[in-house]
Structure 1
Amino acid sequence: MNISRVETFLVAPRWLFVRIETESGVVGWGEASLEGHSDAVRTAVEQFAELLVGTDSARIEDHWQVLTKGGFYRGGPVLGSAVSGIDQALWDIKGKSLGVSVYELLGGAVRDRIRMYGWVGGDDPSGIADAVQAQLDVGLTAVKMNASGAMSRSGTVAEIDGVLKRVAAAREVLGPERDVAVDFHGRFTLANARRIAPLLESLHPFFIEEPVVPENSHLIGQLVQATSVPVATGERLYNRQDFLPVFQAGIAIAQPDLSHAGGISEVRRIAAMAEVYDVQLAPHCPLGPIALAACLQVGFATPNFLIQEQSIGIHYNQGAEVLDYVLDKSPLQFVNGNIERLTGPGIGIQIDESAVRAADARGHSWRSPLWRHSDGSLAEW
């Protein structure tokens, strides 16, 4: 089945969908959402479409090789996200054309359900207990929260105490049987992270996420050695080569984003590489339904898969929700804190194309917030 058309849709709250149509009429959907840079990714997808139209959609690996290595300048979040959306859509087409779920094409299911977690904010310490309880009320058994708002370069006593109080408030609601992950969001220096991580140990976080910015990944091993809390990272790493140093440094959990890190094809390989280092997979996904479905397809076929992030009700979602673009919402419903194994062909969900086209007509212009320290210098968001 040759590819006849490649389209992109800029949809609220901050996502970019990719639609690939074949000459036989089979349509595949992917998600190339790169938060704050959707217009740049859209242009990259349009350029890649010049290489795709008229070619065989079934040659997924060959397309991946051409799109990632065919240009002299390669890699990074923009090109990686464009490739990711295209790759997801091609897997969706392949599964639909054969009448099977993508995980069947990846070797078949190794589990029947995937544990999910939800977001509870944390930038603002107020209302954490209520936010955690709300996630428990919809059936989840794990949450993730930001450790802090803007963080000074050398944490004050008040800032450090605030981190501990936030996590303690969540732990009080969760009790000993449920989990809270703590996202440092790259806002901490290594020194701050090394100071705070041991103080959190008595609260037993599920994991600490992105304790340093990705360009300082060469330092992450120093934090791993300073705490017993599992360390996670990876949402801003884009290929196997990026992940190798953090695997060697001893992280416990890898968090590639299927909309940034080469789609289903590359994240499947990252997962296999992680297994060599006894690292679990927990893909980053505060995004839309297509990215979530793609993550689940990988998860159902991946032995070292731990848990899945999702953004239903996340504080970033303004103007649209994850399920707004899905015709049948039942496959993405939570059951005892899990999503049951998807059974539909391709990525396993049906996209409401009319809703997507209407949303694209409105578009969005989401940008990352800009934060500054009290002295006026730039602060990590």
Structure 2
Amino acid sequence: MKITAVKGFPVRCGHRNVFIVKVETDAGIAGLGEGGMSGRELAMQGALEHYARVLVGMDPRRIEHIWQRLYRSQYFEGGKIFGAVISAIDIALWDILGQSLGVPVYQLLGGACRERIQCFATPAALTGPDCLERAKAAVAQGWRSLRFTTGMAEPGWTGGHGSVYEPMESIELAAHWIREVRKAVGPGIALGIDFHHRLSVAEAALFCQKIEDVGLMFLEEPIRAQNPKAYRQLREMTRIPFAIGEEFSNKWEFLPFIEEGLLNFARIDVCNVGGLTEAKKIAGWCEAHYIDVMPHNPLGPVSTAACLHLCASISNFAQLEYLSQVAEQYPRDLFPSFPTISGDSFPLPDAPGLGVSFDEEAATAHAFEFWEAPHWFRRDGSVTNW
């Protein structure tokens, strides 16, 4: 079997774009992958065109060999864009292998460790009374784990471009409303908060002090993750478990966080970290350090499917991020079939490969549109994190 073509499809999928990669073979089997650098799809397309020149003619079943060749093919190893494109290609190769053998991908990764894949919901931002109603509604629907975002309660605040975000004010709001959520849903519901790396070490430590008795399952990405020493400092200032890693694009970026005990839940992004090949290695490394895997999954249906196969195949899985409000926007003509959730969990996929289909002809009806992640500012006009 040989690779005959590698195609990229930056397509509109709901409120933003996704980047789908299709790897075709002379056996008539095509595999799908997805790159995770949302908002930079054209950059991924450019990198893919370079990699396509290497891939055509290769045996798609040599997955590890291809991973190493792509990663080492440029003098400047690593990087977010290259990591995302290698991820998409890698996922597509596993899809091809599964289809060629007539088995779901998780069977190739060691078989199923569980019968269902548990997810957590993200009902609302901790900015006002609305989060209480959304939390109670989610629990009534059967969700047992809820993750909340943070923001501001200013009149007219939308969270879009130009929004004001003041960390200290957001901390106060989040501390107040997470306590109210805990009262509303009771002690049996797992709660998490995602600060989207918006805080400094001091701000994050202050927040942790304010809510330490709430019983959070995890605090996600409270500070930026480029400097492990900053997380080491924060780790010494609180006992709250951390969920970290969605920004990492290879195993080496995870290294200090795993080896030094800086994270409790590994937020592996299969579409950014190097695909299923790299994710499986990181998961095994985490298992040796008693760290559970909680994949980052805010993207399209190929991302969700790839995550399901990873989660099914590892013993140290905690929960999968699943944004139902995003999944509801997947165009059915573009993705005729993909895994669907049942309650708050997914059943094991049973289709060969990933279990996702993609209509290449329908892509023209979902043309790429430039989209930027929100740009936020402090009141003094300085840039802050989204």
TM-score higher than 0.5 here? yes
Corresponding residue pairs, total: 371
Task: Please give the residue correspondences for 1:52-201 in structure 2 after superposition, counting only pairs within 5 Å.
Answer: 52-122=55-125, 124-149=127-152, 151-152=165-166, 155=168, 158-201=169-212
Question: Aligned match of 1:228 in 235, 239, 243?
Answer: 239
- Residue of structure 2 equivalent to 1:380: 385
Distance 1:342 1:238, change over 3 A: same
Return 198-207 or 118-127, whichever deviates more.
Answer: 118-127
- The answer as to whether partners of 1:93 and 1:346 remain within 8 angstroms in 2 is yes
Q: How does 1:211-222 map to 2 (within 5 A)?
A: 211-222=222-233
In structure 2, the gaps of 5 or more residues are: 153-163
| Distance change >3 Å, CA 178–CA 325, structure 1 → 2 | farther
Q: Is the 8 A contact 2:35 2:271 kept in 1?
A: yes
**Is the counterpart of residue 8 in structure 1 residue 15 in structure 2?**
no
How far did 1:322 drift?
7.4
By how many angstroms is 1:216 displaced? 2.8
Work out the CA distance in 1 between the residues paired with 2:189 and 2:151: 21
Structure 2 CA distance for aligned equivalents of residues 142 and 303 of structure 1: 19
Within the candidate set 307, 312, 316, 1:304 is matched to 316
**CA, structure 1 residues 359+116, in 2 after alignment: closer, same or farther (shift >3 Å)?**
farther
- What SS class does the counterpart of residue 100 from structure 1 fall into? coil
After TM superposition, the runs of 4+ consecutive aligned structure 1 residues lying more than 6 A away are: none
Q: Return the letter of the residue paired with 2:350.
A: T
Match of 2:262 in 1: 250
In structure 2, distance between residues paired with 1:296 and 1:253: 17
**Counterpart code for 2:379:** S
How far residue 174 of structure 1 moved from its aligned partner, in angstroms, is 2.7
Q: 1:320 aligns with which of 293, 307, 329?
A: 329
Q: 1:107 to 1:130 in 2, by over 3 A?
A: same
Are 1:237 and 2:248 counterparts?
yes
Q: For 1:68, give the aligned amino acid.
A: Y
Residue 58 and residue 225 in structure 1: after superposition, are their counterparts in 2 closer, same or farther (change >3 A)? same
- Aligned partner of 1:279 in structure 2 is 291
Output the TM-score relative to the length of structure 2: 0.90
Give the direction of change, closer, same or farther, for the CA distance of 1:345–1:188 in structure 2 (3 Å limit): same
CA distance 1:356–1:81, shift in 2 (3 Å): farther
Structure 2 residue corresponding to 1:357, chosen from 357, 360, 363: 363
Distance 2:365 2:292 in 1: 36
Mapped contact 1:151–1:188 kept (Cα < 8 A):
no
Q: C-alpha separation between the residues in 1 aligned to 2:252 and 2:330?
A: 34
1:334 aligns with 2:342: yes
Report the Cα distance in structure 2 between the residues aligned to 1:322 and 1:294, rounded to whole angstroms: 18
Residues in 1 aligned to 2:361 and 2:81: alpha-carbon distance in whole angstroms: 25
CA positional deviation for 1:124? 4.2
- Structure 2 counterpart of 1:233, one-letter code: I
2:303 and 2:90 map into 1 onto residues whose CA distance is 11
Report the alpha carbon displacement of residue 42 of structure 1 after superposing the two structures with TM: 1.2
**Aligned AA (1:241):** W
Q: Which amino acid aligns with 2:178?
A: V
Deviations 1:157-208 (A, max 9, x none): x443211123123323432222221001110000010111132222211200
Matched residue, 2:161: none
Q: 1:202: which partner in 2?
A: 213
Distance 1:354 1:50, change over 3 A: closer
Supply the distance in 2 between the matched residues of 1:376 and 1:96 (Cα, whole angstroms).
53
Query: Residues 193 and 287 from structure 1, CA distance in 2 versus in 1: closer, same or farther, beyond 3 angstroms?
Result: same
2:156 is matched with none
- The match for 1:37 among 40, 46, 56 is 40
Query: Which stretch has the larger CA shift, 211-220 or 125-134?
Result: 125-134
Where does the alignment leave 5 or more consecutive residues of structure 1 unmatched? Answer: none
Deviation, structure 1 residue 239:
1.3
Q: Percent identity?
A: 31
Letter of the 2:2 partner, please give it. N
Say yes or no: does 1:344 pair with 2:347. no
**Structure 2 CA distance for aligned equivalents of residues 340 and 243 of structure 1:** 29
Change (3 A) 1:16 1:356: farther
Cα displacement (A) at 1:92: 0.2
Partner of 2:303: 291
**Residue type of the alignment partner of 2:232:** G
Deviation, 1:352, is: 3.9
Contact 1:147 1:166 in 2 (8 A): no
Deviation at 1:211, TM superposition (A): 1.4
